[in-house]
Structures are given as C-alpha cells and as structure tokens.
Amino acid sequence: MQRRKFIKGAGGGMAGILAAGAAPAFAQGGPEIKWRLASSFPKSLDTIYGAAETMSKRVAAATGGKFQIQVFAAGEIVPGLQVLDAVQNGTVQAGHTAPYYYWGKDPAFALDTAIPFGLNARQMNAWQIFGGANELFADFYKGYNIYRIPCGNTGAQMGGWYRKEIKTVADLKGLKMRIGGFAGKVMEKMGVVPQQIAGGDIYPALEKGTLDAAEWVGPYDDEKLGFNKVAKYYYYPGWWEGGPQLVTMVNQAEWAKLSKEYQNILEAACWESNTWMVAKYDAQNPAALKRLIGGGTQLRAFSKDVMIASYKASLEVYKEAGEKSPAFKKIYDSMVAFRTEQLLWFRVAEKGFDDFMHTIGTIK
C-alpha cells in the first residue's frame, strides 16, 4: 500500500477502528510488542509532550493492548536534543521530536519542522500529503536509519519574550536569545547570538540573565514555563515558525519488523495526534494570552523593518544552505514551489474571510 493512499484513506476504516477503540481480528492475533519512545519535551508541557501519549494510547487501543509504546520525557532516557541519535542507534525504538533541532547534521532537517517564512500548519499538511514532501523526507531519513511520520503541529507561534523593546534591527545586535532550529542562523545575520536550549532549561537561563530573550511556542506553553515572570515584552508573529511540525521517528529496523497492519495503525495514530495538537493549542492559547496581558505582559508586534530585514536574511541563509546540502536544496525548492501556489489560494479565500472576521467587533 502506498503511503499517500493510506493517509488519504485513513479517515475511513482505520479511523473508525481507532475511534472505536476496539481491536480488530487481525490485531487480536497479532504479536505483543513493547517499545520505548523518547520525547524531546518535559511532561509539564501537556500539549507538545501529550501528542506522543495521544498517539501511544491510540495504538494500544487499536491493537487490543498488543502494541504498547511507553513514552519517556526529555532526560529520562536521553536529553531532549539527542532523540534522533537515540533512535538512529537503537537505544530506543522511537522518538517524538522537532526535526529542526538536528539541522547541524544537515539543514534539510529544518524543513521537516519549520523554516522562517515557510508554511502555516494547513499548508504544511497539504505539502506533506499532496505536495511530495512525505516521499522526499522518506528518502532523506533513510540515510539516518529512520522512518518518520508527522505527529503534531503547534500552529503559528509567537515571536518570544524580551527584556527590552525591539523597535529596530539595531536593537537585536548582541542579543543572547534562545531560538530553536534553523532560525538561529537567520537571527545571527542580524546580530543576535542564538542559543539552542531544550524547553525545560530556558527559564533558569532567562532568569539568571544568561539569555536576554527566548522563544518557545505560544501563550499556553509560555505561561506554564513562567517566561512572563522574567521578561516583560512579548512579540509576534514568530515568523520563523508559521506551522512547525513534530514527527515520530522510528528506527528503520524496528519499523521493518512490524506487520503491515501495525504499521498502518501507527501511521494513523500519528496523523490523529497531528490534528489533536494544533486543535488543543488553538483552544488553549486565547485564554492564556488574556491572562498574560492581564498580568502585565506587554504585547508588541515586530516592526515592518524588522520583518523585511528578517526575510532578506532568510533568503541569504537558504542560498548558503542549498550550496552545502543537495538534500536541502531539493526539498526547499519543492516547498517554495508549493508555497507559491498556496499563497495565491490563501490570499483569496482565507485572508478575505479572516480580515473581515477581525473587524466585526467594530460593526454596530
């Protein structure tokens, strides 16, 4: 069965099995399998960490408990930023992580999460399923002994927390900032000193002054991490993460051991988690943002000058990355072509609708 055909059909029979929570006949006679999955995230972040648990529960339910995946938080088996290595070398059978953490191995990894001025969540899903991205990444990950499945998306993120206002590009110079993935290279071109730090380690670094600024996800998670207690200014949008995707990474040899039925169940459960995560963030972020602002957080938009400078710096970084990594260039070119068509459509329908809905509060 081709992967794309499976994904398109997942809303039918397989989704019904998962929703019912009953094991079909093939699973009742299936082998008992127990896996360990290493997450890049702490348990306190119940949405980004919770996507792996949601997936695990669905797999167990759909196989009558025969296929068990135990989720371990960052640091319980390996540090949060070493999940890929643990899956690759077989320390664990699977991992749940943001691929852009590993852009140092190859910048192509960043494209499997988010790059500055890339795709939003819906566009990312469309590119994966219908734009050829799944096939491109399947080929890329083979070189790392990994089979990967999209498993979560945060939706558009915020631009982070700052101790001082950022009015111009000059205000960024010398700023020590926690920023994940490939976006750090862009920020570096504008004078920022980027640092990639796992989620659970950001608060103490910001509190002690080791960092001047930090970005994570958005109001719901940021409130949990307490960033508002140590930084006053909260900027938007997170132009480097318009629709960042998480993935489940599976050791290739362990994937090959699974029956086709178990493989399909795991894929379907991951795609359900993909929807679950962005839906939960969308549901939780509004109230969290209100609480933050009510508590004294100063909400700010990045200036047009900062946005334009960031976009130009991004193009420089992509050119450099493409010259060093054939994989990056191949996948990036695919994304850009797909994004061009998507923006034409979103500008007509989505933007037109959203722009009006944002004004209705002023209509008497």
Specify the pLDDT at position 11.
Answer: 43
Q: What is the mean pLDDT of residues 337-354?
A: 96
User: What is the DSSP code string of 307-319?
Assistant: HHHHHHHHHHHHH
| Domain annotation covers residue 32 | yes
Q: Is residue 248 part of a domain?
A: yes
Torsion sign over Cα 187, 190, 194, 199? negative
Residue with tokens 């360990």: 36
> Tell me, what CATH number does 19's domain have?
3.40.190.170
In a domain, residue 58? The reply is yes
Indicate the number of domains in the chain: 1
Instruction: Please check whether residue 22 lies inside any domain of the structure.
Output: yes
- Is position 35 within any domain? yes
The whole-model pTM stands at 0.91
**Domain span holding position 121:** 3-153+244-282
**Res. 176 pLDDT band, cuts 50 70 90:** very high
Residue 315 lies in a domain: no
Q: pLDDT (tens digit, 9 = 90+) per residue, 282-292?
A: 999 999 999 99
pLDDT digits (tens, 9 = 90+) for 46-99: 999 999 999 999 999 999 999 999 999 999 999 999 999 999 999 999 999 999
Pairwise CA distance, residues 125 & 119, whole Å: 9
The predicted-structure confidence for 196-235, as pLDDT tens digits, reads as follows 888 888 999 999 999 999 999 999 999 999 999 999 999 9
* pLDDT tens profile 2-54: 455 444 444 444 455 455 455 565 556 789 999 999 999 999 999 999 999 99
In a domain, 125, yes or no: yes
Q: Which residues contact 266 (CB under 8 A, 6 or more apart)?
A: 55, 59, 67, 149, 248, 250, 258
Q: Report the pLDDT value the prediction gives residue 292, as an integer from 0 to 100.
A: 98
Give the span between the Cα atoms of 54 and 269, in whole angstroms.
8
Residue 249 lies in a domain: yes
N-term to C-term CA, the chain: 55
